[in-house]
Structure 1
Amino acid sequence: RPRPITPPCDLRLQSQEVQVNLGSGDGARRSMMGDSSTLLSYYHEDAKTMYEVFQRGLHITGERDGPFLGSRLPNQPYKWLSYREVSLQLAEHLGSGLLSQGCQPSPDQFIGVFAQNRPEWIISELACYTYSMVVVPLYDTLGPDAIRYIINTAEISTVICDKAQKAAVLLENVQRGDTPGLKMIILMDAFDTQLLEEAQKCSVHIRALRDPPGPDDLSIVCFTSGTTGNPKGVMLTHGNVVADFAGFLKVTDKVIFPNQDDVLISFLPLAHMFERLIEAVVICHGGRIGFFQGDIRLLPDDMKALRPTIFPVVPRLLNRMYDKVRA
């Protein structure tokens, strides 16, 4: 039986206050984990952007071309796309398709992704990074007003979404004049002619889904719900994200270090940076990512089938799982 991991610090004292003049009267705190005297920008010399993070994972798998993104249908085993399939056959093709539709290979080009966790989410992200474009996640729980606000604020002209129902909602916004800048929707799933007809009425193009950035270039804009007012867009560069997971590796590398044999189950929303961070760590070291079926009630069955070694999770979910085991 595996031994439990020894925490890198006392979990009852994970940070301490430091004296910094912030001008607002609020105190600052620093982590008790790792070397506080060194500010990390990256962990690996060859992984300074999110594009390079994937390229490193691709290089590590090499001739073995290891499995990368996995998904499953009910009562079916996981089916995997390899690193090379995702890179050469999917991400680069999708990125080229975006360019052919008028998107610019620039950090000023924002692409919306409106989908549940699935392989196409990561493929869409990598397609953007391959051509220096920026990802802006959208998700249902933000609410319709916030989604309209984000599309307008980020000046999103193209949204990649998973289901026709979500595309219909986006089209309704355009038809009402709420999001006049939205010009193209790319769908992961099949759609019918009625959706095309509705799109033509408001001059939106519907498409079916089938120069690398630098560390200072924008990688992703995460809109938070915020405590007051409209959602706040947090602008993260490739360097920001890579530095974040470099810090994670630094404080855990003496206890556990990811490798090609690791398998992560993707459950927490990819629109949240915690899930993105841990998945980036797995990608950078050639590991595998398997996605849950989308139903939390089936999560235990997914974990039994996938047998993950890494599970990004929040305390609330652990409490629910604990209560279920004790019941």
Structure 2
Amino acid sequence: MQSVVAAGADWGSSAHRFPYYVDGEATRPAHFQTTVAENPDRPYLGERKVVHNEDGSTSAGEYEFVSFKKASDTATLIGSGLKTLGIKKNQPFGLYSKNRIEWMLSDHALLSYTLPSVAIYDTLGPDSVHYVMEHSEMAAAFFEKIRLESVLTAIKKGLPNLKYVICFDAVTSEDKAKFTKAGVELLNLYELKDMGAENVFPHDLPTAWDVAVLMTQQAPQVTPKQRLHVNSHDVHFAFLPLAHIFKRVVQAVCISQGCSIGFYQGKLPELILDIQTLKPTFFIAVPRILSRIYDKINRGVKAGGPEKEAAYKNVYDMRFAALERGEDTPMLNEKVFNRMSMALDGRVKWILTGSAPLGTAIHESLRVCVCPVIMVGYGLTETTAGATITHYNDMKLGHVGSLLASNELKLVSIPEMNYLTTDECPRGEVCVRGTNGFGSYLKNPEKTKKDIDEDSLFRTGDVGRWNPGGTLSIIGRHKSIFKLSQGEYLAAENLKAMYGKCDHIAQVFVTGDSFHAYPVAAVVPDAEMIVAWAKENIIPGDAKSIAETPELKDMLASEVLEMHKECKLKGFEKLRDFIVEPEAFSIDNELLTPTFKLKRVNATKKYQDQIANLYDAIENNQ
């Protein structure tokens, strides 16, 4: 739906809003209790059952669920146990674990007694865990047994406010002794529930403006009114980390509509098996996951040879044209596309993606091959994940939709980069405000004042463009746009997306500076693709050794050159040279966030010496 501005306001520079903008004050605990009352026996939280085989091994069985009523009762016991320990209202409480049922039950307990949760990514190491726990001044924390040593290490570094830690799993007397020695009491969840059962406290529910979540930022206790088409018959597959705000908002929407939620096992190689076992009806994914599905489909098509590839292109074009007309292709689906959609078990009605840009080629291909309805959302942690979302039947690509009902959004000109709200399609920095906006940065009033202006608009740092239909496109990131020596500006995100289209390139870090007139990059080749290429070209070795060969560098350079021609880049936009990096950017090597976005600061630090040498080599050869 097209955004609007106030009567008489300027289309380019004024704040846009949803035509039916609302100030919502519904809270997550209120939504949950309403759903419990309406659907007490409906399956709510599910995990795959551990099957003990005759040979002594274990395997994953079918999903088993906890009902909404059981979840509510258990959360009350957990919360009552915390009150018995003397935990006071509004004291921050940590959650440090992979996605699991106990995480959600504990979160419900915290919300029911107005205890702000502090979500800690389970991928963080001891130093980062200590920083989050100390900075938030948490009084206690939940964690899983595998994180015991990280928690203990953080405590030994000094956490004066931490009094209790509760393990989701069984603990030993030796474990308890270690924590007692460190000055913190260790309990397991069963002990806490037993304490709560002996003394059940009435709920102490938060208001709409109590702090619910500390994710370094404070987020108000409001559920954004997402335009997601879900109901009590839907099943959601939960694999994005619950510590991420995008995932927590999706969970809140599921709860309000009475959806069932099944968690993945925490093993990425078995992700597809979990999906096929659960049979979800909608799917939430980050672009990196969708890119993997897209690559797998393309490899399968190309493996069939030129004739099969040509035949596939014909049926692809026919289905794409039909979808643009608002029609379906049942015969083509039966013969070709249903097999591709089985990667998500065939029941998925729609997909929502966010947290990073989704390439138009990937978007179009997956819409044709996997699921016709793929919505794209835009937002940040500071906007409680959401600010805009595409309409479910919008077939146009390259934009992030229109505003949520809870937001206003305006663009502010960036004159030095020639992004102006007076352009035919207004461009500028995206600024957002609304009931789902954060309150402040925790213990950082200087940054709060810098990022939130006098009109309560949050400066996102993203560069946007208003399209004629009232939708928004994100065209760059202010912080990832760098100036070259001749004064030109380059948008690294745009170049990264472009080079990512190359068949044999999996990841790319594009960089540049004001001392040089051109960009350079670190390129990670696609391991599967280069192994197949090496086999065809009689080059021995594994992916790592192949990545180090001059033959591969030459092949990648030719793909980059073709991309320059295809995209008609100007001279200063073209990569002059690049490093071939055999190791993929990942969460483990701290080059990706938990939602698979590149950490540019970390990448810059890692490659600074190699980049400097690359520039020297280029200039010495001129």
Picking from 75, 86, 90, the partner of 1:91 is: 75
Picking from 42, 45, 56, the partner of 1:69 is: 45
Cα distance, 1:184 vs. partner?
0.9
Matched with 2:612 is none
Cα distance, 1:139 vs. partner?
1.5
* Percentage of pairs with the same residue: 32
For the residue of structure 1 that corresponds to 2:180, the secondary structure is helix
Matched with 1:185 is 165
- RCO (CA 8 Å, sep 6+): is it higher in 1 or 2? 1
Which aligned pairs between 1:186-225 and structure 2 lie closer than 5 A? 186-210=166-190, 211-222=204-215
Picking from 267, 271, 293, the partner of 1:299 is: 271
For the residue of structure 2 that corresponds to 1:190, the secondary structure is coil
Picking from 65, 74, 91, the partner of 1:80 is: 65
Picking from 261, 275, 280, the partner of 2:252 is: 280
Q: CA RMSD in A?
A: 2.2
Matched with 1:168 is 149
Cα distance, 1:323 vs. partner?
1.8
In the alignment, is the contact (CA less than 8 A) between 1:56 and 1:285 conserved in 2? no
Which aligned pairs between 1:227-306 and structure 2 lie closer than 5 A? 233-239=216-222, 242=223, 244=224, 246=225, 248-249=226-227, 252=228, 257-306=229-278
For the residue of structure 2 that corresponds to 1:75, the secondary structure is strand
In the alignment, is the contact (CA less than 8 A) between 1:167 and 1:185 conserved in 2? no
Question: CA separation in 1, counterparts of 2:23 and 2:283?
Answer: 25
Matched with 2:480 is none
Question: CA separation in 1, counterparts of 2:44 and 2:82?
Answer: 23
Question: CA separation in 2, counterparts of 1:185 and 1:158?
Answer: 5
Question: CA separation in 1, counterparts of 2:290 and 2:152?
Answer: 38
For the residue of structure 1 that corresponds to 2:242, the secondary structure is coil
Runs of 4+ in 1 over 6 A off after TM superposition: none
Any unmatched runs of 5+ in structure 2? 3-10, 51-58, 191-203, 300-622
Q: TM-score, normalised by structure 1?
A: 0.78
- The amino acid of 2:72's aligned partner reads S
- Tell me the number of residue pairs that the alignment of Structure 1 and Structure 2 aligns: 271
Matched with 2:287 is 315
> 1:88-121: per-residue Cα shift (whole Å, max 9, x none)?
1x100000001111101x2x21110001001111
Question: CA separation in 2, counterparts of 1:41 and 1:71?
Answer: 36
> 1:149-206: per-residue Cα shift (whole Å, max 9, x none)?
221121112010012x412222222224x22322211000122222111112112101
Question: CA separation in 1, counterparts of 2:281 and 2:213?
Answer: 27
Matched with 1:148 is 130
Distance verdict in 2 for CA 1:56–1:140, change over 3 Å: same
Cα distance, 1:18 vs. partner?
4.6
In the alignment, is the contact (CA less than 8 A) between 2:130 and 2:155 conserved in 1? no
For the residue of structure 1 that corresponds to 2:142, the secondary structure is strand
Matched with 1:130 is 112
For the residue of structure 1 that corresponds to 2:241, the secondary structure is coil
- The amino acid of 1:214's aligned partner reads T
- The amino acid of 1:49's aligned partner reads T
In the alignment, is the contact (CA less than 8 A) between 1:168 and 1:195 conserved in 2? no
Matched with 2:504 is none
Question: CA separation in 1, counterparts of 2:12 and 2:161?
Answer: 45
Matched with 1:60 is 38
- The amino acid of 1:217's aligned partner reads D
Q: State yes or no: 1:157 paired with 2:157.
A: no
Moved more, 270-279 or 134-143: 134-143
- The amino acid of 1:67's aligned partner reads P
In the alignment, is the contact (CA less than 8 A) between 2:235 and 2:262 conserved in 1? yes
Distance verdict in 2 for CA 1:172–1:144, change over 3 Å: closer
In the alignment, is the contact (CA less than 8 A) between 2:32 and 2:256 conserved in 1? yes
Q: TM-score, normalised by structure 2?
A: 0.42
Cα distance, 1:316 vs. partner?
1.0
> 1:276-308: per-residue Cα shift (whole Å, max 9, x none)?
111111111111000001001111001101010
Matched with 1:12 is none
Q: State yes or no: 1:39 paired with 2:15.
A: no
- The amino acid of 1:124's aligned partner reads S
Question: CA separation in 1, counterparts of 2:12 and 2:221?
Answer: 28
In the alignment, is the contact (CA less than 8 A) between 1:60 and 1:285 conserved in 2? no
Larger gyration radius, structure 1 or structure 2: 2
Question: CA separation in 2, counterparts of 1:158 and 1:307?
Answer: 37
Question: CA separation in 1, counterparts of 2:69 and 2:295?
Answer: 41
Distance verdict in 2 for CA 1:144–1:41, change over 3 Å: farther
Cα distance, 1:269 vs. partner?
0.8
Picking from 18, 28, 31, the partner of 1:50 is: 28
